[in-house]
Amino acid sequence: MAGSGHRRDKRSRSRSQPMLKKLLSKPKSKKKKEAASSALPTLDRLHETLEMLEKKECFLQKKASAEVERAKDYTKAKNKSAAIQCLKKKKLYETQIEQLANFQLRVHDQIIMLESAKATTDTVDALRSGSSAVKAIHQSVSIDDIENAIEEANEHTENMRQIQEALATPIGASADFDEDELEAELEDLEEEELENDLPEPPQRTSMEPSARVTTTQPANDLAELTKLQAEMAL
């Protein structure tokens, strides 16, 4: 009985451990978010504190300078004890100024660390957002979706080509034209154009008119000579 009770306790503990981890992890994430959201107010407060320390340091430096001037005046007046008191006050002011300088260094250190931590947090958040966006894109788009999109695009392209071919097909009177007959007529026109473009052959000169001229010219001369002799005989 004791062994069975021990086993039950182990089972209950093993079941309760994941629940405890979940409960413990939630506050941690909330703390991280709260720390990230409180970075800006903390930086503002640190800058305000630094400004206050600088103003106080400037005020104490003026006080120390004033005590030095007073010590000089007391020295001129031969009041040594009063001059020493002024120098003591100056030393106190200088001690406070030194403390304030150390405080400023600490505040500066905190500001630098916090700004660096905030920059790191912002960078990590940006990287996480980018990774989540890429993951969401990968989940929304798969290889099957891409293949389906390409297939649809090809189908639309084929449909458009068929539509363009249907629109380009002649209808009505133009559909009755014989393409072979038109091509033959076009060839005849081309041959006719080629014949018109060829140069004309040179014309052959006939020898007969010249021969007639050579034969008739002496006869005319002889007739005129006979007529002239008859006139002179008279």
- Over residues 213-225, the pLDDT tens digits come to 455 555 666 677 7
Q: What is the pLDDT of residue 92?
A: 94
Structural domains present in the chain: 39-133 (1.10.287.1060)
* 172 DSSP assignment: G
What letter does residue 177 receive in the DSSP assignment?
A: -
Q: pLDDT, tens digit, for every residue of 97-126?
A: 999 999 999 999 999 999 988 888 888 889
Q: What is the mean pLDDT of residues 50-68?
A: 94
Q: Please tell me the predicted confidence (pLDDT) of residue 151.
A: 87
Of the chain, the percentage scoring pLDDT greater than 90 comes to 25
Q: How confident is the model at residue 185 (pLDDT cuts 50, 70, 90)?
A: confident
HEC readout, 136-159 = HHHHHCCHHHHHHHHHHHHHHHHH
CA distance 211 to 205: 12
CA dist 46 and 108 (Å) reads 8
Q: Are 49 and 57 in contact (CB under 8 A)?
A: no
pTM for the whole thing?
0.43
